[in-house]
Structure 1
Amino acid sequence: MKLRKVTAASAAVLALAVTATACGSDDKDSSSSGGDKKITIGIKFDQPGIGQKTPQGYSGFDVDVATYIAKQLGYKADQIEWKESKSADRETMLQRGDVKFIAASYSITPERQEKVDFAGPYLLAHQDVLVRADDNSIKSPSDLNSKKLCSVTGSTSAQNVKDKLAPKANLLKYPTYSACLTGLQNKAIDGLTTDDSILAGYAAQASFKGKFKLAGFKMTNENYGIGVKKGSDLKAKINTALEKMVSDGAWEKAVTANFGPANYKNEPAPKIGDIKK
C-alpha cells in the first residue's frame, strides 16, 4: 500500500512538472508538430517597400526589421510565420494573441497606446506627396490647389491636405495606391499623398523606376512602432534588438535596399522612446 501511495504522489509531481513546462516562456512559440519553435509576426501584405507578399516570398523594410528582431529573440527566418495585419485589425490581433508582434507601418498614437504597447519608434515618416518626375509645378502644398489629388478609399490623407493646406484641391477617389500610381503616370491625377515611406516603396518598384518623385513636404510626423500586447515583456527585448540593428548598420542597409530607388531622403534612425509630435 505504501508503494502504491508513493507511486501516485510521484505521478502527480511529474504531471505538475509537465504542465509547468508546457506553460513556459511567452516569447517562444511551438508548432503543433515536432515542437519546433515558431513565431507569428504581423505585417502588411500589399505595400511594396514596406511589407509585401509575392510569389517569391515576403519583402519590404518592415519585413527586414521584423526578421532582424526575430533573430535577436532566437528565431531563424524559416521559423517565422507571417500573418497579414490590415490596419483596422492590428489592435485586435495583438489583444487576441494572433501574433507576437506587428511591424506594419504602424504609427504610434495616444489612442492606440491605450490598447497596445509599442517598441520603438524605428522609423520617422512624414505625410508627403508623390508627383511625376517631370512635374515642377508643385513646389509647396499650396500648389495643390486646383490640382487633382488622389484619395485612396478609406484614407484621410488627401482630405487632410484639402482641409488644412489646399482647400481648392480636387480629390479623386481610387480603390488602391497602385491605381493612383497608374492615374499619376497617365496624367489623370497630379499627385498622390500618404506616408513618404509608403510612397517611396511604391515608386521604387521596377516598373515605375524614374517616373515619380517625392515632393518632400513633410506635412506630418508618423512614428512607426512595433506593436505588442499590452504589458508584454517583449517590448523591452524588441527595443534592445532595434538599438542593435541601428548600431551594426543593418537598419541603414534595409532603408537603402527598400526605399533607395525612389531617392527617399529618410530621417536618421529615431531614438527609442523619442516620439515626434
Structure 2
Amino acid sequence: MAEVPAPIESVKINVAESFPPQYFVAIKSGLPSGCAEFRGYDVSREGNTVNIEVTNLEPAPGQLIPCTAIYGYHDTNINLGSDFTGGETYSVVVNGLVTETFVAQGGGTVGEDDRSQISAPAPIQAVAINLDSQAGHAELVVISGLPNMCYESGSASLLHGSDAIRVEVAMVRPADLSIACAERYRTVETSLALEMTIEPCESYSVVVNGERYSVQAIVPNVRCAGPDPIGQPLPGARDYPTAVVPAPIESVVIISTRSLPPQYVVKIVSGLPSGCAEFNDYGVNR
C-alpha cells in the first residue's frame, strides 16, 4: 500500500467555549475507492500558519488489485490547542490546497480594550458564476450581508468537492457585545477564482455556508435559456384545477458581471405559500 494525500471535501474551524479558548479543525476527507483507507494526519505550525497533511493508504502504482468504485468519507477532528494570540489572524492549510482563516478570541487584560473578533457565517444574498470564455477564466461571485455596522467581511474559502463547489464566506464582529452598533444592513461582493472547466450556460451545484444553489454560468454577449427551477418537484397528474397567480416576492438582487459590456442578472427569491403551490414560470418584458 502507498501513502497518498487524501482529497479534502470540507474544512471547518470550531472554537470551544472555554478559558482560554480551545480551537479545533473538523476535516472531511475522501476515500476514492473501496481499496482506499484513512491513514492519519500530521500537524505542523509556522508562525500564524498551521499546516495539516491528511493521507490515505491506496494500492501502489502497478499493483493489479480490483477495487470497488465506491466513494467514501472520513471525518477527522483535530485539537489545535489554545496557543493563539487574541485578535491575531491565523491560517489553517490542509494538504496545501484548502485554506481556512480565523481570528483568535480573547487578548488584552482586564481594563484594556478588547479588540478581538468573532467569526460567523455570513448571510448569503446571491451567487453567480461569471465566465470569460476567451480568456478561459471563471469566477464565483458571492454577495453576502453584514447585519449592522459592527460587522465586517471575513475570510472566504472555496473547495472543488466531488459533488459540488463548496464555499464558506464569513463575517467578523467585535467579541465585546456591549459595543453599540448602528443598524445599517450592507452587502459585500466576494470573487473567487474557479480552477475547473466551466461550460457556458451550464448550471452547477454550489454549496455556500451549507445552503445549496443551482448556479448558471453567465458569459458576456451570450444569452442563455433560464435554468430549471431549483428543488421543485416535477409536475404530475392532478385531480384538481390550478390557476396561475403572482408569487410573493421575498427578495430581489441585481448582479453585474465584470465584462465589457457588463451583463446584468437579477436573482429573485419567491415564496410558495402552501404545500399545493408550485413554481410555474417567469416572464420578462422591457
Higher RCO (CA < 8 A, seq sep 6+): 1
Q: Report the TM-score when normalising by structure 1.
A: 0.25
Q: Report the TM-score when normalising by structure 2.
A: 0.24
| Structure number with higher strand proportion | 2
| Structure number with higher helix proportion | 1
